[in-house]
Structure 1
Amino acid sequence: MLNFIKMSANIEQIIKKSQEVCASAGAKLTHKRKNVLMVLLASATPLSAYEVVDKYKTQFQESLPVMSVYRMLDFLVQEKLVHKLETAGQYMSCAHIACDHQHETPQFLICDRCGSVKEVGIKKRIIEELERSIQNTGFTLAHKQLELHGVCKFCQDHST
């Protein structure tokens, strides 16, 4: 019960911070956008838009069209509350929503066995070095986020 109370308090804090982030950008975290974010916050693994629709219906006893969910997810990504994993076409809540520090560029360590994802920040100097190296080729980056696939510690420890 204590873990549930701690988790509820943490989610309330994250939602409050999310509303502040949206308000400071002149946007609004509507009721349905908030609920989509809560679905992602409650998930241990990233979700596709279709999985969000299914979990939303279960969690809130309300149906949402998948196209509406895509628009809500796009909004949440734009406000940096959610990340889109490009290689998997899935979404996950940002691990640093409630933090008050400057965020680093996200790097995602994706386990190919269990689907878990760990978000790790990349130091600014490393990103700047990569950008300089890429600029020398004449290539322009669209996204700076890195997605690395492998096997997590849990799966390594529990493999046969």
Structure 2
Amino acid sequence: MSNINTILNDAEKSCQTTGARLTDKRKKVLTGLLQSSKALSAYELVDYWREEFNESIPPMSVYRILDFLEGENLVHKLKLANKYVACSHISCNHAHEIPQFLICDACGVVKEIGIKKDLINTLEHNVEEAGYKLQSPQLELHCLCQDCANKAA
């Protein structure tokens, strides 16, 4: 839990630099995502809230909190699954590559990796040559984690 407290403190500092506030409710939702190795939906976070804090929170409140956290670059939305993960770089003090997500189709574990900007630029160029406009450079790669791959072998 001390690692989560460190991340929450860094998230709070990050919000302060943008003039935003990381309220207790926002911290609780972020904590739920930090504690999970899987992406969670708003409704799964409602369940987490009920189990962890013995309180209820409306799903719309969770969606608003997730929108805020995403806007502050503290969480990422996995578009295909309509679920969220905590950013793995909240406590880092250096520039990062473009975030991409490896999603285990068997167990649901999500890992954030970075892809070099050059690769995304090439992808964007190829998309434009095909007559399209890239709306988001985020890739969600469906894979098997090493544990699940070993079990399947």
Letter in 1 for 2:136: H
Q: Report the counterpart of residue 72 of structure 1 in structure 2.
A: 65
Gapped runs of 5+ residues in structure 1?
A: 1-7
**Coordinate RMSD, CA, aligned:** 1.2
More displaced, 88-97 or 123-132?
A: 123-132
Separation in 1, partners of 2:135, 2:20: 24
* Residues 1:140 and 2:146 aligned together: no
* Residues 1:130 and 2:118 aligned together: no
Runs of 4+ in 1 over 4 A off after TM superposition: none
- SS of 1:158's partner is helix
Q: Report the counterpart of residue 104 of structure 2 in structure 1.
A: 111
* Residues 1:10 and 2:3 aligned together: yes
Separation in 1, partners of 2:127, 2:72: 26
Gapped runs of 5+ residues in structure 2?
A: none
* Residues 1:85 and 2:82 aligned together: no
Separation in 2, partners of 1:136, 1:159: 40
Identity, in percent, stands at: 52
* Residues 1:60 and 2:42 aligned together: no
Count the aligned residue pairs: 153
Q: Report the counterpart of residue 3 of structure 1 in structure 2.
A: none
- How does the TM-score come out when normalised to structure 2? 0.94
Separation in 2, partners of 1:118, 1:39: 16
Letter in 2 for 1:95: S
Q: 32, 36, 46: which one pairs with 1:39?
A: 32
- SS of 2:9's partner is helix
TM superposition shift of 1:135: 2.8
Separation in 1, partners of 2:18, 2:135: 22
